[in-house]
C-alpha cells in the first residue's frame, strides 16, 4: 500500500510539473502577440489619400488604378496626381512629360 501511495504522489508531481511548464509557454505566446500588435499599429498608421483628391485614373509610372490605393501625391501641370507608392512618384518626377500620358486623366 505504501508503494501505491508513493506511485500516486509521483504521478501527481509529474502532472503538476507538466502543467507548470505549459503555463510558462503561454507567457511567451502572449509576448509574441503583443509584439505583433505593436508592429501592426505602425503599419496601420500609413497615410492614404482619397481618390476624389486626384485627377488621374492610373498611376502614371506603373499603371495601377488609383482606386487600389494612393500612398503619395504630386502636383504637375496644375493637376494633383496620385501614386501607389513613393517609389512610383520619384520615378515619375525624373521625367514627367514621358510618363503623364499613362495617367489617364479624368
Q: Which DSSP string corresponds to 20-38?
A: HHHHHHHHHHHHHHHHHHH
28 and 55 belong to one structural domain: no
56 and 35 belong to one structural domain: no
55 and 36 belong to one structural domain: no
37 and 60 belong to one structural domain: no
Please write down the HEC assignment for all residues of 69-98: CECEEEEECCEEEEECCHHHHHHHHHCHHH
Residues of the domain holding 96: 51-103
| pTM to 2 decimal places | 0.55
pLDDT tens by residue, 56-102: 999 999 999 999 999 999 999 999 999 999 999 999 999 999 999 88
How far is residue 106 from each of residues 11, 25, 38, measured CA to CA in Å?
A: 76, 57, 39
Distance from chain centroid for Cα 59:
21
Does residue 63 contact residue 102 with C-beta atoms inside 8 Å? yes
Mean pLDDT computed over every residue of the chain: 77
Amino acid at each position: 500500500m505504501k508503494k501505491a501511495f508513493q506511485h500516486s504522489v509521483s504521478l501527481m508531481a509529474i502532472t503538476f510539473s507538466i502543467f507548470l511548464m505549459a503555463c510558462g509557454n503561454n507567457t511567451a505566446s502572449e509576448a509574441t502577440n503583443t509584439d505583433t500588435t505593436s508592429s501592426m499599429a505602425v503599419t496601420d498608421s500609413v497615410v492614404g489619400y482619397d481618390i476624389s483628391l486626384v485627377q488621374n485614373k492610373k498611376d502614371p509610372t506603373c499603371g495601377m488604378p488609383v482606386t487600389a490605393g494612393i500612398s503619395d501625391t504630386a502636383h504637375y501641370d496644375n493637376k494633383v496626381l496620385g501614386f501607389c507608392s513613393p517609389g512610383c512618384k520619384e520615378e515619375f518626377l525624373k521625367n514627367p512629360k514621358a510618363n503623364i500620358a499613362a495617367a489617364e486623366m479624368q
